[in-house]
Amino acid sequence: MKIERRKWVLAVGEDAAPTLLKLLEAGGVAFDTVENRINPVYREYTDELPEEDFRQVLAMLSHANPQRLPKADYDKVETDFKRRTDKQWQLEQARLAEQRRQAQAATEQRLLQAGLHSLGGSGTTWAARASQIGAWWNGVKQREAAENWEKVFTGNRMTARQVNAKGRGGKFDIVNRHDRKDPAKEREIYLDRGLGGILARTTPANFFPGPAGANRKDELGLHDLSGTLLTSARPVFKQLKPYDEAVVVFMPAPTESDSQVFAAISSLEEPDTDKLREYRSKFTRLRLAQSSDMGAVFVDDNTDPKAELRARYGVNGRVLLPGGTIVPLDETMLAKRRTDALEHSTILSGDAKALVNEVVIVYRQHAAADLFPLFAQWDRETTSYRVLDRATLAPTGAWIADTGAWHPART
């Protein structure tokens, strides 16, 4: 059930509120777009609470002010706790989790075979398929060079990310994914979330300057970023979160086939490391995808906090299951985010009431470089997106209707 944090805090009173809030914290902080400030990250659903934390929360609510928390509301929380601790329920959840794990393993194998089949050739090593890999890569860049707005948008491959003054960038601390509440394991990262950072991500030399060169991603703050995968079946504006004064970055995702081939060659034995690094520095792609908001924050994905920083976005959060249940992310669900990125059509819905989906985008060079990444801004008066010059952010005269129709600048 949904945690009614503000209501519960008022109900337990000022003295108990700090203890309650600590129990509800997930670990780490994030920018709150509603309050326009950095706040702790709180768990939003009771299923995200460890059992012992839930037990303590329930005990605190049992002494809450009944005028603030009526008995009927407390009874709902108590009933939910009984569900969580019921042995039969726990066994059923374990059965369903194993069912999901097996289905996910089958999906991973299917997509690997699909990628290898599309690549062609035979053998498990890079050298055995080197000629096919080279031909595929040349084809990728030829296909990119031929892309335009209409082709990508109607093909349901256009991603959108909104960039505004709000949000967290620059230097800040992130928690350890495996121990989010231990402040001793927090690490500092630098994140460039601005428009200049988007363009820096499309410069291959920032990631692979040559065989002897170092990847500058951490130094320059060029980490993966979140966005939305658009469907041509719905108005663009309703698919995005309502941020004011945002510049929208539009960027094509690869075809599902190219995504699957790229994943397949990345799994080959004895890879040509330099060639693979080069491809990674030039291939815009989806890292993760989910049909609902991920509820994620940046975390360090190292089990050893003294090891090299592994800043990751999208490897935590929550998942909306069929039927409406929202649960914490587990390893199987994280693996599904990865495979959904390889067949991204699975997360799209033409339903007017559909939730905003979320994708994690690896912004890299695109062969249609004069067009993508494309910057635009919503114009309330015309209910359209005005295309902007990437260097000056001045309108170019081209515009995009909310339906997704492209209108070139008048000459």
Nearest residue to 181 via CA among 329, 42, 370, 12: 42
- pLDDT tens digits, one per residue of 16-63: 999 999 999 999 887 776 666 788 999 999 999 999 999 999 999 999
Nearest residue to 297 via CA among 171, 180, 162: 180
* Alpha carbons 163 and 198: distance in angstroms, whole number: 10
Nearest residue to 362 via CA among 153, 202, 229, 168: 202
Side-chain half-sphere exposure of 128, counting CA atoms within 13 A: 11
Backbone angles phi, psi at 374, to 5 degrees: -105, 130
Residue type, 389: D
- pLDDT tens digits, one per residue of 139-185: 999 999 999 999 999 999 999 999 986 677 899 999 999 999 899 99
- Residue percentage of the chain with pLDDT more than 90: 86
Q: Is 190 helix (H, G, I), strand (E, B) or coil?
A: strand
Among the residues of 227-288, which ranges form H helices?
Answer: 256-266, 273-282
- pLDDT tens digits, one per residue of 187-201: 999 999 999 999 999
Count of residues in the chain: 411
How many angstroms from the chain centroid is the CA of residue 58?
A: 32
User: What are the domain boundaries of the chain?
Assistant: 5-85, 122-407
Q: What pLDDT score was predicted for residue 35? A: 67
Angle at 281 between CA 276 and CA 282, to 5 degrees: 100
Q: What pLDDT score was predicted for residue 33? A: 64
- pLDDT tens digits, one per residue of 227-266: 999 999 999 999 998 787 899 999 999 999 999 999 999 9
Q: Is the pLDDT of residue 371 over 70?
A: yes
Q: Which helix (H) or strand (E) holds 375?
A: strand 374-379
Weakest-pLDDT range from 117-131, 278-292, 353-367: 353-367
- Report the mean per-residue pLDDT for the chain: 94
Nearest residue to 158 via CA among 374, 410, 386, 9: 374
Does the CA dihedral 225-228-232-236 come out positive or negative? negative
Q: What pLDDT score was predicted for residue 351? A: 78
- Residue percentage of the chain with pLDDT more than 70: 99
pLDDT bracket for residue 99 (50, 70, 90): very high
Q: What is the pTM of this model?
A: 0.93
How many angstroms from the chain centroid is the CA of residue 138?
A: 28
Q: Is the pLDDT of residue 367 over 70?
A: yes
CA distances from 35 to 21, 22, 30, 316, 357 (A): 17, 19, 11, 23, 23
The residue to which tokens 């800043």 are assigned: 311
Please state the rounded mean pLDDT for residues 84-107.
96
pLDDT bracket for residue 372 (50, 70, 90): very high
CA distances from 258 to 100, 121, 141, 255, 333 (A): 26, 16, 11, 5, 23
* Alpha carbons 169 and 31: distance in angstroms, whole number: 10
